[in-house]
A and B are shown apart, each in its own frame.
Chain A
Amino acid sequence: MSAGNDRILARALVSAMNDDVGQPPEEVLVRVLGETERARPLPRFVALVVEPPIVMPARVVVGIRRSRLLMIATALLIATTFVASGIAGAWVERLTAPSKPTDALERLQSVGTMRIAISPDGAADSFDADVARALAERLGLPLSVVAVAPSDLAATAASWDVALPMVPEAGLDRDDFVVSEPFYAWPRAVLVPTESGGTSLADVQGQPICAVAGDLGERWLMGALGSPGPSLASVPPLPSAMILRDTDEACLAALEDGTVRAVVTAAMSPAELGARTNLRSVASLPPEPRAIVVSRDGPDPAALMAAIEATLDDMRRDGTLSRHSTTRFGADLTVQP
Chain B
Amino acid sequence: MVTQGDMSQPNVDPSVPSASAKADLVERARAGDHTAFAILARSGFGRMYGAAKLILRDQYGAEDAVQEALLLAWRHVATIRDPDAWDVWMYRLTVRVCYRIARARGTREVRELHVRLERPASVTDFTGVLAERDRIMAALTDLPLEQRAVIVLHFYLDLSMVQAAAVLDVPVGTAKSRLHRGLEALRASLGEEPELFGSAIRERPT
Q: Which residues of A contact B (CB under 8 A)?
A: 1-3, 5-21, 24-25, 28-29, 31-33, 35-37, 39-44, 47-48, 50-52, 54-57, 59-64, 317-320, 323
Task: Collect the chain A residues with CB atoms within 8 Å of residue B206's CB.
Answer: 56-57
B192 interface residue, CB < 8 Å from A? no
- Also in contact, A29 and B8, with CB within 8 A (given A1-B198, A319-B106): no
- The 9 A-B pairs at the shortest CB distance, nearest first, are namely A1-B198, A61-B85, A61-B82, A21-B50, A44-B78, A24-B49, A36-B74, A318-B104, A47-B79
- Please give, as numbers and ranges, the residues of chain A lying within 8 Å of B49 by CB-CB distance: 21, 24-25, 28
A319 and B103: CB pair below 8 A? yes
B7 to chain A, nearest CB (A): 5
CB pair B169 A18 closer than 8 Å = no
- For B63, B79, B82, B136, the residue with the greatest tally of chain A CB atoms inside 10 Å of its CB is B79
With A and B bound together, what is the CA distance between A8 and B6 in angstroms? Answer: 9
Contact-residue bracket for chain B: 35 or more
- For residue A7, which residues in chain B have a CB less than 8 angstroms away from its CB? 2, 6-7
Please tell me if the beta carbons of A5 and B63 are within 8 angstroms of each other in the complex: no
| A20 CB contacts on chain B under 8 angstroms | 53-54, 112, 133, 137
Interchain Cβ contacts under 8 Å between A and B, 5 examples = A1-B197, A3-B2, A12-B136, A40-B32, A62-B82
Q: Is the CB of B67 within 8 A of A32?
A: yes
In Å, the complex CA distance between A59 and B70 comes to 24
Scoring B residues 115 to 132 as 1 if CB is less than 8 Å from chain A, else 0, what string do you get?
000000000000000001
Output the least CB separation between A124 and chain B (Å).
Answer: 14
User: Measured between alpha carbons, how far is A9 from B70 in the docked complex, in Å?
Assistant: 32
Kindly identify which residue among B41, B79, B84, B103 contacts A29, using a CB–CB cutoff of 8 Å: B41
Given A6-B198, A6-B200, A10-B202, A62 and B85 contact (CB-CB distance below 8 Å): yes
CA distance A13 to B10 in the complex (A): 11
Q: Does B88 contact A (CB under 8 A)?
A: yes
Please state if B103 and A41 are interface contacts (CB–CB under 8 Å). no
Q: Which residue of A3, A16, A48, A55 is within 8 Å of B79 (Cβ)?
A: A48
Inter-chain contact A10/B88, CB cutoff 8 Å: no
Interface string of B158-200 (1 = CB under 8 A from A): 0000110010010000000000000000000000000111111
Provide the residues of chain A in CB contact with B45, threshold 8 Å. 24, 29
Chain B nearest CB, measured from A35 CB (Å): 6
| Closest-CB distance, B1 to chain A (whole angstroms) | 6
Contact A28 B66 (CB under 8 A): yes
Q: Are A39 and B71 in contact (CB under 8 A)?
A: yes
| Nearest-Cβ distance from residue B152 to partner chain A, whole angstroms | 7
* Chain B residues in 8 Å Cβ range of A63: 79, 81
Main secondary structure of the interface of A (DSSP, over half): helix
Q: Which of B34, B42, B80, B104 is A37 in contact with, Cβ under 8 Å?
A: B34
> Which one of A14, A35, A320 has the greatest number of beta carbons of chain B within 10 Å?
A14
B136-172 to A contact mask, C-beta < 8 Å, 1/0: 1100100000000001100110000011001001000
Which residues of B sit under 8 angstroms from A64, Cβ to Cβ?
79
B7 x A14 contact (CB < 8 A): yes
Contact A51 B76 (CB under 8 A): yes
| Residue of B10, B32, B49, B76 most packed against chain A (CB within 10 A) | B76
Which residues of chain A have C-beta atoms less than 8 A from B82's C-beta? 56, 59, 61-62
CB neighbours (8 Å) of A28 from chain B are 49, 63, 66-67
Q: Give the distance to chain B from A275, nearest Cβ to Cβ, in Å.
A: 15
Q: Verify A35–B71 contact, CB threshold 8 A.
A: yes
B residues less than 8 Å from A60 (CB atoms): 81
Specify which of A19, A48, A62, A319 is in contact with B89 (CB 8 Å cutoff).
A62
* CA gap between A62 and B86 in the complex, in Å: 9
Across-interface contacts of B2 in A (CB, < 8 A): 3, 6-7, 10
Q: Contact: A18 with B78, CB < 8 Å? A: no
Other A-B contacts than A16-B132, A64-B79, 17 sampled, CB-CB below 8 A, are A8-B196, A13-B136, A13-B200, A17-B50, A18-B10, A20-B54, A20-B137, A24-B45, A24-B46, A24-B49, A25-B63, A28-B67, A29-B42, A32-B70, A36-B38, A43-B78, A60-B81
Judging by beta carbons under 8 Å apart, are B54 and A50 in contact? Answer: no
Q: How far is the CB of A24 from chain B (nearest CB, A)?
A: 4
